[in-house]
Amino acid sequence: MAAQVWVARFPDFPFRPLALSRLHSAGVHSYWCLMGTLRLGVNLDHVATLRQARYAAMPASKNAEPDPLVAASLCERAGASGITAHLRADRRHMQDRDLERLRANIMTKLNLEMGNTPEIIDFALLLQPDEVCLVPEQREEITTEGGLDLLRHERELRPTVKRLNAAGIRVSLFIDPAPDQVEMAKQLEADIVELHTGALANAFTEKVEQQELERLRAAAIGAANFGLQVNAGHGINYRNISLIRQIPHLVELNIGHSIISRAIFVGIETAVSEMLALMKNYPG
C-alpha cells in the first residue's frame, strides 16, 4: 500500500537507492521504511584490516588481498543495499584509495563513516559519498565504541553538518539511544540517526537486555516523530538480530564484523544472504 501511495505521488520516480536525493529534496525522509523493506549496509572495514595485516606498507600492491572492492561487488550481488566504510585518521584499515575505488565502482550507495576532523571532512567533500555517518573516534580503540555526544560537541558538529548538506551529502549521526541525543540530532538538522546497539548486543542478563531494548525503542520512536531516518548498528549478529527486529521504525542496519566473520566459513555472498533472510518481514 505504501509503495502505491508513493508511486502515485511520484509517478516518474525510479525506485532505487541512488535516487534517494530526489525524495529527500521533496521532503520525504523515510522512503525505504515506507516501502516495508529493512535495508542492509555491509561495513567492509575488516576486509581492509586483513589486507593491512600483511600489506600495510603497500596496500596498492598487485598482490594485496583481500580487495574491499571485490568484497563490495559480492555483497551487492547478494542483495546488500549499500556499502559502509570508515576512513580513520590513522588509516588503520581503509585507505583513501579504497574509498575512491568504491565511490567510482559500486552500484548501490556509499556510506562513509568518519570523525569530525578537517582533513577527513575535506576528503568527504571531494569524494561525494551518498551519506556520511559522523562517529566518535579515539586512536586507542580497536573499533568505534559508544555514540557521538551531540550535546558536548554541538558547536563543532553544526558547521560540519551544514557543509555536508550543502554539498548534497545526507548526514547521519551515530548516537547512543538517549532522548537528549535524538533531540539534538534534530536541532543539528541531520537527516539520519544511527542508534548504537552495542549495549543491547553485549547485555549479559535478560533484565539488562530488556532495559536496553526499551531505550532503543523509545529513541527510535522519538527520532521517527522528529522526521529523522532511523538506522542501527554495532554488535548486530545472526543471533541478536531477533532483538533488533523488535525496534520500530528502522530503515537500515549497518553490519560489518559479524558478516565478515561468517564469510570466513561460508563466503561473503552466503553470509550476506543469510543475514538478509533473518531481516525479512520486518514488522516496522
What domains can you pick out in the chain, each with its CATH number? 37-279 (3.20.20.70)
The pLDDT of residue 14: 35
Q: Which residues contact 9 (CB under 8 A, 6 or more apart)?
A: none
Q: How many CB atoms lie within 10 A of CB 1?
A: 6
Select which of 113, 131, 212, 269 is catalytic. 113
Q: Is the pTM of this model over 0.75?
A: yes
Q: Please give the Cα distance from 170 to 160 (Å, whole number).
A: 12
Select which of 29, 86, 93, 249 is catalytic. 86
For residue 113, indicate whether it is catalytic.
yes
For residue 93, indicate whether it is catalytic.
no
Per-residue pLDDT of the chain (284 residues; tens, 9 = 90+): 333 333 333 333 333 333 344 344 444 444 444 445 899 999 999 999 999 999 999 988 999 999 999 999 999 999 999 999 999 999 999 999 999 999 999 999 999 999 999 999 999 999 999 999 999 986 554 555 689 999 999 999 999 999 999 999 999 999 999 999 999 999 999 999 999 999 999 999 999 999 999 999 999 999 999 999 999 999 999 999 999 999 999 999 999 999 999 999 999 999 999 999 999 999 98
The pLDDT of residue 143: 54
Q: Which residues contact 58 (CB under 8 A, 6 or more apart)?
A: 64
Select which of 212, 234, 249, 269 is catalytic. 234
Measured CA to CA in angstroms, residue 195 lies from 99, 150, 158, 276 at distances of 24, 13, 19, 19
